[in-house]
């Protein structure tokens, strides 16, 4: 039997959303608040940045390439956007990023590495880097930003995961592990912070075309699997004002 609260939330969302663990707590208004976005210059990150800025958020954009970040900041609507270049695969980078970002009201942890292939083919450096970017960095950022959010009495954290965090696929054991871990962390953190008035959302896209590893490599999605777009995922991120716990985006709005 479907939870009546889920029905109410779904009436406000496009049909590509599946919202789980919804909350009766009022969500957070993005306008005027500062949002830290990691992985900002990728195809998905750019779409998320545009969605957040379009809702009036002041952005702290992070990624590895300063020039690309500067160009993105100049394109976005609104003012007061800042950039903080960071390579989250490096030890200590997440903690440094949190410190340099300053007061952050909304965290959107979007940076990620594909992590595909057979496990013996991984070098130690590649394995550690994938774990650090996909799982450890979001945890470190959350740990560093949580006290300030609690002190100010407001805040929201969004973790961009994947449906690979709910179902294993061949040649993706490392990627699956990071996304399963991120999902568990986000949902657990949500239960910890809900009594403190801080929201936590998990966004799990299906296979995203036009961005990410399928767009970068030209690889085909598995047979029978639907695809979605960066814009569809960015709209899911904007739904933090509903304080949705988990959002699955597995097809286009028009699909």
Two tokens at 250? 């597995």
Q: Which of 9, 17, 159, 175 does the annotation list as catalytic? A: 175
Strand order through the sheet with 156-160: 17-20, 246-249, 199-205, 156-160, 106-109, 34-37, 58-61, 82-83
Pair of tokens at residue 87 = 């390579």
Residue 31 sits at φ, ψ, to 5 deg, of -55, 125
Q: Which residues pair with 4 in a beta bridge?
A: none
Euclidean distance between CA atoms 227 and 214, whole angstroms: 10
Residue found under tokens 């049909």:
15
58-61 and 17-20 beta bridge pairing: unpaired
Give me the count of residues in the chain.
255
Catalytic residue at 122?
Answer: no
| Rounded CA separation 3/25 (Å) | 16
Q: What whole-number distance in Å separates Cα of residue 157 and Cα of residue 138?
A: 10
Query: Among all residues, which ones are annotated catalytic?
Result: 175
């Amino acid at each position: 039997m479907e939870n009546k609260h889920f029905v109410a939330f779904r009436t406000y969302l496009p049909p590509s959303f599946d919202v789980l663990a919804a909350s009766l707590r009022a969500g957070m208004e993005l306008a005027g608040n500062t949002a830290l976005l990691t992985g900002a210059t990728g195809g998905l990150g750019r779409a998320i940045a545009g969605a957040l800025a379009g809702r009036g958020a002041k952005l702290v954009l992070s990624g590895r390439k300063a020039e690309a970040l500067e160009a993105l900041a100049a394109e976005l609507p609104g003012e007061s956007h800042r950039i903080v270049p960071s390579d989250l695969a490096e030890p200590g980078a997440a903690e440094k990023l949190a410190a340099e970002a300053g007061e952050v009201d909304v965290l959107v942890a979007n940076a990620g590495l594909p992590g595909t292939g057979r496990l013996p083919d991984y070098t130690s450096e590649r394995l550690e880097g994938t774990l650090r970017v996909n799982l450890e960095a979001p945890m470190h950022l959350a740990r560093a930003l949580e006290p300030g959010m609690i002190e100010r009495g407001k805040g929201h954290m969004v973790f961009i995961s994947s449906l690979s965090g709910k179902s294993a696929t061949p040649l993706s054991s490392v990627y699956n592990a990071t996304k399963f871990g991120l999902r568990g962390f986000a949902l657990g953190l949500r239960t910890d912070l809900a009594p403190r008035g801080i929201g936590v959302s998990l966004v799990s896209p299906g296979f995203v075309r036009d961005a990410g590893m399928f767009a970068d490599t030209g690889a085909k999605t598995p047979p029978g699997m639907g695809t979605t777009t960066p814009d569809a995922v960015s709209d899911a991120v904007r739904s933090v004002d509903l304080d949705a716990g988990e959002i699955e985006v597995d097809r286009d709005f028009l699909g």
